[in-house]
Chain A
Amino acid sequence: MVLRAFGTLPLVEAPARVVVCHGDWHLGQMVLAGGWRLIDVDDLGFGDPAWDLARPAALYAAGVLDPETWGRFLDSYVAAGGVAVDARDPWVALDVPARALVIQMAARALVAAQRDEKVLDEAQEALLEACDRIVAAHPHMARG
């Protein structure tokens, strides 16, 4: 199912807007040291900024991150001048990146569970269910 969900991802086109991106943004990259600092800039580069929001967007769409928290995050991002999304319809920009992150996290959860001989936790199950919904909602994309 994860592979079938992967099959719905389109080839990524050149982004309409290219700005400086962190490239690996998650909460572990935020350090409180006399104010918040953003660390680990190994993957810093120019690209589509929507990918920096892909992980929380994916967790929200998978039902792991609750709507209020996600809404507060997105509102704050837009209020702070974030340019990755159009606040009126953020999912135009976020749909493909969030799908990709759901699929990546689900695949990693499966591999880790198999390696460690553990069952999936509730959040990981939610990612797999999101893969089901991705497959149900999208046609398979033929890649060259």
Chain B
Amino acid sequence: MQCPKCHANMRTYDRMGVHIDQCDGCRGVFLDYGELEAITRLETQMATPPPVAPPAAYPPPGYAQPAPAWGAPQVHYGHHGHRRKHGGLAGLFYSS
């Protein structure tokens, strides 16, 4: 994904279930629909820890998978940041 402001590449982070795209150039942050509400919710939870953890559904197939902060850039409903070339992969998957 490209930054709508400066057109540099945007990097994807998943933090506590919130999906964030940050621009490598201007460091601007892009939030998906509903993510601002998710952040507000998290903030409230941190201020007053709920007695019971809220149920968080595992993302359904097709939805962006959770990834570490250093994970490869992911694009919603696609895998442009992911490599499907299988040459040389066998060694990575099949050997000790």
- Which A12-38 residues have a C-beta within 8 angstroms of B? 24, 26-28
User: CB distance A66 to B84 under 8 Å?
Assistant: yes
Give the distance in Å from the alpha carbon of A60 to the alpha carbon of B56 in the complex: 22
The contact sample of 18 A-B pairs, CB cut-off 8 A, is A60-B65, A61-B68, A61-B71, A64-B92, A67-B74, A70-B65, A71-B61, A71-B65, A89-B56, A105-B92, A122-B88, A123-B85, A124-B88, A126-B83, A130-B70, A130-B72, A134-B70, A137-B68
- Docked CA distance A124–B90 (Å): 12
Measured as residues with beta carbon below 8 angstroms from the partner, the interface class of chain A is 35 or more
What count of chain B residues pass the 8 Å CB interface test?
33
B residues contacting A by CB (< 8 A) are 14, 16-17, 56, 58-59, 61-62, 64-74, 79, 81-85, 87-89, 92-96
When the two chains form the complex, which single residue of A27, A61, A123 contacts B67, counting CB atoms closer than 8 Å? A61
A122 and B85 contact, Cβ closer than 8 Å, known pairs A71-B65, A75-B58, A137-B69:
yes
Q: Nearest CB to that of B14 among chain A residues?
A: A91
CB-CB < 8 A to B96: which residues of A?
24, 26, 28, 40
Query: Which residues in A have their C-beta under 8 angstroms from that of B73?
Result: 63
B68 — which chain A residues lie within 8 A by C-beta?
61, 91, 94-95, 98-99, 137
Task: Kindly state whether residue A90 has any CB partner on chain B within 8 Å.
Answer: yes
Q: Which residues on the A side are within 8 Å of B95 (C-beta)?
A: 26, 28
| A contact face: mostly helix, strand, loop, or mixed | helix
A84 CB to closest chain B CB, in angstroms?
15
A83 at interface by CB-CB < 8 Å: no
Cα–Cα, bound, A67→B19 (Å) = 15
List residues of chain A with CB under 8 Å of any chain B CB: 24, 26-28, 40, 55, 59-68, 70-72, 74-75, 78, 87-91, 94-95, 98-99, 105, 121-124, 126, 129-130, 133-134, 136-138
Check B17–A59 contact: CB distance below 8 A: no
In the complex, the answer to whether B82 meets A64 with C-beta atoms within 8 Å is yes
